[in-house]
């Protein structure tokens, strides 16, 4: 089954690579329209997935990721329309010039070919990835989690209908509907057909892909994100940022998981933090020093376990640790961070500059929420993933991250001397 999907995807990629921006936008507009016009089928499939997920005891965070409603589906369709408005990178000349040999050389952006994406209970990823891949002339094979297979199947059916009505092969966007995990292992070895693989899921999935894939892998999306509260920070604005970073949507990878507090401000800051977090139902997991300052506050607090510094809560839980200063904070982030998103709250320019220069994450913030690490927020449109590695893309992956380039040489009967 997968080999036939690979053959179809590779054949479709050759056709997609030749499309003009206008032709690609026409397809995307039709997909957006169909997502809304046929929303009833998609939402019905999603209700069935949610019912089964609840029976299987899926966490609240995962249920939130899985759930669709008319408003979310409209937002997803609007994201597709937004991709139409983005500049098409395919065909752009990156650089070049005339060489001494007389050969005129240029580097031009081209599609990668076929993208494989493995992800969990997030049906919006199906549309986000498909729209970005189509905009950049790439075919895509999607393997969503077993929790969302009905939603994905219904969504891809709508996308394929739009493709075919625009004269394009349905193989341009395909989904593996079977929940059989053996198919994941088979997919990891489809280097004959898939040019790049993007896993979007937990640490186990990323480890599996790095160790077993014969396809180049872009890893990311695991966000053990930190905020360091410097001793020069102003308490009220700092609390506002922390509330946003923790509670706006706690099930996302750019949510803060560990709060590092300078010992010089801890005595004044932590009681205020307790009051603010209690109002929002956040449980604090504190180190020994912080626990002493938090135990009489209104927020629920318990001793932190060392392993919790290395994991995503994806819930209304927050680690709190007192550090001796900037060096201590940076050391903790280097040891426990995932190079996703980290922030400093400070009024000291030199500390802000040091944090930016010394924290090696894909997104680093000064006096801002980590929740901004998102393709839409960065002006990239929908994102295919957030890469925490360094080759070939980093941070939110928009259109350019789904292209490569080729060298083109123009001669006048030119030969090498």
Tell me, what's the pLDDT at 379?
83
Residues 403, 417: Cα–Cα separation, whole Å:
33
Query: Phi and psi dihedrals of 382, rounded to 5?
Result: -60, 150
For the chain, the residue count is: 417
* CB-based contacts of 253, cutoff 8 Å, min separation 6: 221, 222, 223, 225, 312, 340, 373, 386
Residues 19, 191: Cα–Cα separation, whole Å:
24
Say whether pLDDT at 242 is over 90. yes
Closest CA to 205 of 385, 333, 342: 385
Closest CA to 407 of 19, 166, 103, 51: 103
**Span 94-145, pLDDT tens digits:** 999 999 999 999 999 999 999 999 987 788 889 999 999 999 999 999 999 8
| pLDDT tier at 49, thresholds 50, 70, 90 | very high
**Span 304-362, pLDDT tens digits:** 999 999 999 989 999 999 999 999 999 999 999 999 999 999 999 999 999 999 999 99
Q: What is the pTM of this model?
A: 0.88
| pLDDT tier at 202, thresholds 50, 70, 90 | confident
**Higher-scoring residue by pLDDT: 322, 200:** 322
Tell me, what's the pLDDT at 4?
97
Residues 214, 196: Cα–Cα separation, whole Å:
10
């Amino acid at each position: 089954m997968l080999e036939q999907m690979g053959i179809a995807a590779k054949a479709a990629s050759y056709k997609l690579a030749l499309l003009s921006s206008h032709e690609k936008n026409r397809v995307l507009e039709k997909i957006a329209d169909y997502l809304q016009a046929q929303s009833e089928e998609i939402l019905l499939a999603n209700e069935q997935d949610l019912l089964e997920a609840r029976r299987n005891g899926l966490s609240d965070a995962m249920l939130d990721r899985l759930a669709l409603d008319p408003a979310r589906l409209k937002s997803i369709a609007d994201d597709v329309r937004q991709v139409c408005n983005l500049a098409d990178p395919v065909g752009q000349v990156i650089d070049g010039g005339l060489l001494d040999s007389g050969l005129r050389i240029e580097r031009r952006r081209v599609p990668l070919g076929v993208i494989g994406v493995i992800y969990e209970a997030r049906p919006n990823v199906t549309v986000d990835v498909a729209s970005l891949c189509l905009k950049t002339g790439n075919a895509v094979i999607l393997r969503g989690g077993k929790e969302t297979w009905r939603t994905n199947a219904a969504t891809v059916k709508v996308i394929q209908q739009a493709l075919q009505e625009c004269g394009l092969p349905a193989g341009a966007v395909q989904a593996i509907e079977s929940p059989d995990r053996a198919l994941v292992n088979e997919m990891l070895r489809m280097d004959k057909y898939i040019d790049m693989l993007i896993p979007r899921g937990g640490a186990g999935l990323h480890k599996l892909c790095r160790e077993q894939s014969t396809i180049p892998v872009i890893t990311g999306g695991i966000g053990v994100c930190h905020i360091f509260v410097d001793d020069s920070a102003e308490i009220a604005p700092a609390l506002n940022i922390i509330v946003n970073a923790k509670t706006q949507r706690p099930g996302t990878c750019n949510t803060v998981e560990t709060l590092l507090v300078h010992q010089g401000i801890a005595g004044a800051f932590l009681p205020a933090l307790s009051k603010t977090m209690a109002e929002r139902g956040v449980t604090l997991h504190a180190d020994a020093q912080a626990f002493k300052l938090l135990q009489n506050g209104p927020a629920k607090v318990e001793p932190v376990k060392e392993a919790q510094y290395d994991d995503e809560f994806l819930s209304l839980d927050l680690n709190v640790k007192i550090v001796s200063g900037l060096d201590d904070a940076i050391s903790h982030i280097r040891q426990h961070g995932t190079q996703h998103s980290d922030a400093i709250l400070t009024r000291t320019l030199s500390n802000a500059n040091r944090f930016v220069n010394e924290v090696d994450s894909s997104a680093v913030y000064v006096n801002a929420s980590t929740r901004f690490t998102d393709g839409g927020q960065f002006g990239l449109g929908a994102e295919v993933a957030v890469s925490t590695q360094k080759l070939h893309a980093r941070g939110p992956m928009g259109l350019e991250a789904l292209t490569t380039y080729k060298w083109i040489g123009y001669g006048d009967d030119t030969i090498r001397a």
